[in-house]
Amino acid sequence: MNSKFKKQSVIFVFSVCMVLICLSLAEDSVKTPAENTQYTAYTQHCSMAYFLSRLDTISDQLIVQSVERSLPREEYGSKDLFLCIITEEGVSSPHQLDRTKPTFYIVGAKHGNEQSAKEASLMFIRDVTVGELKSLLKQVNFLVLPAANPFGNYFDTRRNEQNLDLNRDQVKLESPESEAIHKVFREWMPEATMDVHEKGDDYYQVSIGCVSNPNIHRSILRFSRNVLLSEVEEKLKGQDITFHEYLITQRMGIDSSAGVDYSEEDRGQRVYMKRYSTTDLNDGRNSPGIYETLSFIQEGASRHDLQTLKERTIYQYYGIRFMAESIGNHGKEIISLVSDLRQSLIQQAKEYSEDDVVHLRMKYVRDANQPSIRIKQFKRAEQRIVGLLRKDKKAGDPLTYEDVRPYEYPSDKKIEELQVTNWFPNVSPTTSVVRPLGYFIPAQHQDVIQTLIKHRIRIDFFKQDCILKTQVYKVMDIVPAEYDYLAPEKITVIKEEIKTVVKKGDFFISCAQPAAHLIPCLLEPESEYGLIRYWTYGLVPEKGDVFPFYRIIQEQDMPLAAYMPWKR
């Protein structure tokens, strides 16, 4: 080898090494907007766009898409909702996805003032894209929508630009943000989801809740709680992060999850119960869970101030990270469980059977084997706590700095153990109905049809007039709800089988599709979580009326065509 060629080779190798080193340093130096400000400011939309743009530039595994825009307001313009698709192969569409791996869909900060959900999501995107978690892409595909409420984020407020609580808009899908969240879910059909929130200043820094609606197969809850949550809890303990499965404190007789603006008199009740999180389909956990999905809500403890932003972001980050790692460790089991349940559900819905029931109303009940639960909680301290003694001291003994352990919790709060006797951990169905083959809906209910379309539910229309054998509900008694968002306080119906004239342009919704559980829950008159509870649809009947949605329980020829198939 001549000296000139040898010199050029050395220069080439040196140049390559320098490029690799620079790339490595560039990746290592990618900080989230909050990290760049030392957590002295919340990340805003423009900073997030720069951050994601930089990651997109240096990573082949990240694809960023705008899946929707928020509505413009005079005080704050329309903003993109960014979806981060993170895969080993760098795919950009669902049909390219490697389905031998589970897909984990994370939604952050539906409530705009729950800022650490967004900051932790951005941190996770960075680490799984160019950081220490990149190897996870060999086991899991990720979809992350880090900031679901740009307006609320900017003004540090819970609701969006329409004054809607996005976590009470998972059935009507009135907001572009909620529709986008569901669009992503239905297009990609991930096996696992996590809706990331913040709660109050709780002793448990991270709480994660599982699905709870009894229509979701029991094996989903068992696997979520006994396998994934168990592993996450152990890992969080290793980081000295306090954890408990998510619990709700609720006033007896008040459904605090419904999104109802109760009167002062109703809210004034003072008898409380503890339970696991809601069975409502109107939240970010049961709404994807109803499709037989391993769905979770994560709630991070928060005082909602900038001073604690860094620590609460870290709590949230580790909750997301450890759940992702646990999903990766059980990838084959998750794929098998979810895939089998989804296929079985559709097959089951193809045939009418008296054994195939959907639960419409339910209640929280006690467990005779666990009549109470013991938890830790904060209680206001009469005097500020400055530290804890490492060992007992007698009065008059000298006290050194080494004798005192710093107090890691708020100085105005002490920890107490509480035995909760009003403990309702189980859910018991109270009203159930046999699933029909489908529903005939008259054409005048376009508002209902448009909501079903937003859910990506398959809809057909009748190409010509015909006569069908149907099952209808006659309303024998009804006590309407006092509040919008609540089902009728009482409704009694009887079924009648009749021949019905169907007009060209009327609609048919088959239950034999992925939304087989959801469809009856939305369309049945006795449903606690159906469209009947929203006054905007005008579905609350009077005594003696026939409910306007007709059940089809027999196979029969129907002249159908697909309605708006491009929206599925």
Distance CA 204, CA 196 (A): 15
Question: What is the pLDDT, as a whole number, of residue 250?
Answer: 86
- CA torsion angle 501 505 506 512 (round to 10): 120
Distance CA 123, CA 131 (A): 10
Question: What is the pLDDT, as a whole number, of residue 373?
Answer: 96
Question: What is the pLDDT, as a whole number, of residue 372?
Answer: 96
Question: What is the pLDDT, as a whole number, of residue 402?
Answer: 73
357-383 in b/e form (b: 16+ CB < 10 A) is ebbbbbebebeeeeeebebeebeeeee
Taking residue 556's Cβ as centre, other Cβ atoms within 10 Å add up to 12
Question: What is the pLDDT, as a whole number, of residue 462?
Answer: 98
Task: Using alpha carbons, select from 234, 185, 190 the residue that is nearest to residue 208.
Answer: 234
Summarised one tens digit per residue, pLDDT across range 484-508 is 999 999 999 999 999 999 999 999 9
Task: Using alpha carbons, select from 539, 527, 171 the residue that is nearest to residue 359.
Answer: 527
Question: What is the pLDDT, as a whole number, of residue 489?
Answer: 93
Full 3-state SS string of 425-485 = CEEEEEEEEECCCEEEECCCCHHHHHHHHHCCCCCEEECCCEEEEEEEEEEEEEECCCCCC
Distance CA 299, CA 13 (A): 50
This prediction has a pTM of 0.91
Distance CA 321, CA 326 (A): 9
Strands of the sheet containing 272-276, edge to edge, are: 247-251, 272-276, 423-424
Among the residues of 207-308, which ranges form H helices? Answer: 218-223, 230-238, 264-267, 286-289
Q: Does CATH number 3.40.630.10 belong to domain 46-259+269-349?
A: yes
Question: What is the pLDDT, as a whole number, of residue 295?
Answer: 98
Distance CA 238, CA 299 (A): 19
Distance CA 49, CA 47 (A): 5
Can you read off the two tokens belonging to residue 58? Answer: 């240096």
Summarised one tens digit per residue, pLDDT across range 87-144 is 999 999 999 999 999 999 999 999 999 999 999 999 999 999 999 999 999 999 999 9
Among the residues of 239-355, which ranges form H helices? Answer: 264-267, 286-289, 309-329, 331-349
Domain ranges of the chain: 46-259+269-349, 373-420, 434-567
Cβ-contact 427, 364 below 8 angstroms: yes
Distance CA 1, CA 515 (A): 70
Can you read off the two tokens belonging to residue 27? Answer: 């990746």
Cβ-contact 367, 427 below 8 angstroms: no
Question: What is the pLDDT, as a whole number, of residue 4?
Answer: 52
Question: What is the pLDDT, as a whole number, of residue 270?
Answer: 74
Distance CA 535, CA 559 (A): 32
pLDDT of the chain, 568 residues: tens digit per residue: 555 544 455 444 444 444 443 444 444 579 999 999 999 999 999 999 999 999 999 999 999 999 999 999 999 999 999 999 999 999 999 999 999 999 999 999 999 999 999 999 999 999 999 999 999 999 999 999 999 999 999 999 999 999 999 999 999 999 999 999 999 999 999 999 999 999 999 999 999 999 999 999 999 999 999 999 999 999 999 999 999 999 999 888 777 677 777 766 666 667 889 999 899 999 899 999 999 999 999 999 999 999 999 999 999 999 999 999 999 999 999 999 999 999 999 999 999 999 999 999 999 999 999 999 999 998 887 777 777 777 777 777 777 767 777 767 777 788 999 999 999 999 999 999 999 999 999 999 999 999 999 999 999 999 999 999 999 999 999 999 999 999 999 999 999 999 999 999 999 999 999 999 999 999 999 999 999 999 999 999 999 999 999 999 999 999 999 999 988 8
Which run of H or E residues covers position 299? strand 294-300
Tokens 């899991």 sit on residue: 140
Can you read off the two tokens belonging to residue 130? Answer: 């160019």
150 CB-near residues (< 8 Å, 6+ apart):
45, 70, 76, 79, 80, 81, 112
Distance CA 170, CA 290 (A): 12
Which run of H or E residues covers position 365? strand 357-365
Task: State the first-to-last Cα distance of the chain, in angstroms, to the nearest integer.
Answer: 65
Cβ-contact 410, 308 below 8 angstroms: no
Task: Using alpha carbons, select from 304, 321, 314 the residue that is nearest to residue 194.
Answer: 321
Distance CA 210, CA 208 (A): 7
Question: What is the pLDDT, as a whole number, of residue 290?
Answer: 98
Task: Using alpha carbons, select from 153, 159, 241, 254 the residue that is nearest to residue 203.
Answer: 241
Question: What is the pLDDT, as a whole number, of residue 449?
Answer: 98
13-27 in b/e form (b: 16+ CB < 10 A) is eeeeeeeeeeeeeeb
Dihedral pair phi/psi, residue 411, rounded to 5°: -65, -20
155 CB-near residues (< 8 Å, 6+ apart):
76, 112
